[in-house]
Amino acid sequence: MDFVHQLIQQLINGVSLGSIYALIALGYTMIYGIIKLINFAHGDIYMVGAYLGFFGVTAAGLPILPALLISMFVTGLLGMVVEKLAYKPLRHAPRISILITAIGVSFFLEYTGMYFVTPTPRTFPDVIGNISFNAGGFIINGQQVLIFAITIILMALLTYIVQKTKLGKAMRAASFDTETAQLMGIDADRVISMTFFIGSSLAAAAGVLVGVYYNTIDPLMGIMPGLKAFVAAVLGGIGILPGAVVGGIILGVIEALVAGFLSSTFRDAAAFAILILVLLIKPTGLFGKNTHEKV
């Protein structure tokens, strides 16, 4: 049947896009979990990651995997620097001040980026070639396979770090209750710094993968995916890692369906509509628990 066929094809596309949202959303959710900040600049970190990957492949002539790793590492450092310079001095300031600062950082990354690389979109070189797999009439192309593979590997790695390592335990403790964690001898500053490193390098991976998938990158490319990844994080329950992944994939699928069956101009509206519905119906998200404010 034609409709079913198209539906499944859109699902495949949706999951690829959703994996990218999931990678960005993980960083959002980790950072929010620990310092209760909507890091508005997170989408722009992802943009920087995409450009670093681009220059790694083009200027340095690296293969895609080393370029990806270098981009992740350098972007991770950038995330740490942003935290140190812009957010750390405001750790005890009102949340609105930090939110405004994050908006400032976002602009700063976008437009210094634009100043240096020009606003013109760049074409990401074809690093995969024209491979595609035909599974029972459904097309999965090489780029999508790469996205799935990298996403799964990174998520496995993140799960390992969070569940098994000392750093991961400290992160979980700090996101549960920063002050108590500090009393128990956890160096909160270091944990926050590392959280920014990990979150930013995941966003960088997403940036490079998007470059490979859509072939084109530009200095403002981070705005929309950044906002949508935030929607994904809220949908899954902000602060909850598996929630970010599930939220990202659901969002990707819904968008692909809206674009495929309605009109691609409504794609962005769909994401925001989901956000508002979630916030109104269950602000703690799919995986979140309800809490009572103490008076």
SS (H, E, C) 2-64: HHHHHHHHHHHHHHHHHHHHHHHHHHHHHHHHHHCCCCCCHHHHHHHHHHHHHHHHHCCCCCH
Report the partner that residue 94 touches, choosing among ligand ADP, other proteins, none (CB closer than 5 to 8 A by kind). other proteins
The encoded tokens of residue 44 equal 């722009």
Per-residue x/- mask for ligand ADP, residues 131 to 170, rule CB under 6 A? ----------------------------------------
Residues 135 and 186 sit within 8 Å (Cβ to Cβ): no
Q: What is the DSSP letter of 129?
A: -
CB of 294 to ligand ADP, least distance (A): 4
Task: Provide the binding-site residues for other proteins, judged by CB under 8 A.
Answer: 37-38, 86, 89-90, 93-101, 103-108, 110-112, 114-115, 119, 227, 230-231, 234, 263, 265-266, 268-269, 271-273, 275-276, 279-280, 283, 292, 295
How many chain residues are in contact with ligand ADP, going by CB under 6 A?
2
In the complex with other proteins, the residue whose CB is nearer, 77 or 90, is 90
Point out which residues pair with 140 in neighbouring strands.
Answer: 133
Q: Are 53 and 67 in contact (CB under 8 A)?
A: yes
Distance CA 266, CA 258 (A): 7
User: What's the min distance (Å) between Cβ of 280 and other proteins?
Assistant: 5
CB of 290 to ligand ADP, least distance (A): 11
Least distance from ligand ADP to the Cβ atom of residue 295, Å? 7
- What is the C-alpha to C-alpha distance for residues 267 and 286, in angstroms, rounded to an integer? 21
By CB under 6 A, name the one of 92, 166, 289, 294 that touches ligand ADP.
294
Q: What three-state secondary structure class fits 92?
A: coil
Q: How far is the CB of 292 from ligand ADP (least distance, A)?
A: 4
Task: Name the amino acid, one letter, at 59.
Answer: A
- Select the binding partner of residue 89 from other proteins, ligand ADP, none (C-beta < 5 to 8 A, by kind): other proteins
Of 289 and 294, nearer to ligand ADP (C-beta) is 294
With H, G, I as helix, E, B as strand and everything else as coil, classify residue 256: helix
**265 versus 290: smaller Cβ distance to ligand ADP:** 290
Q: Would you give the binding string for ligand ADP spanning residues 253-292, x where CB under 6 A is met?
A: ---------------------------------------x
* Two tokens, residue 267: 């794609």
What is the distance between the alpha carbons of residues 235 and 62, in angstroms, rounded to a whole number? 37
Task: Using the minimum distance from each CB to other proteins, give the nearer residue, 176 or 266.
Answer: 266
| Least distance to other proteins, CB of residue 126, Å | 30
Q: How big is the chain, counted in residues?
A: 295
Which does residue 107 touch among ligand ADP, other proteins, none (CB within 5 to 8 A, set by kind)? other proteins
Tokens of 54: 């681009």
Spatial CA neighbour of 90 closest among 77, 100, 76: 100
Residues that bind ligand ADP (CB under 6 A): 292, 294
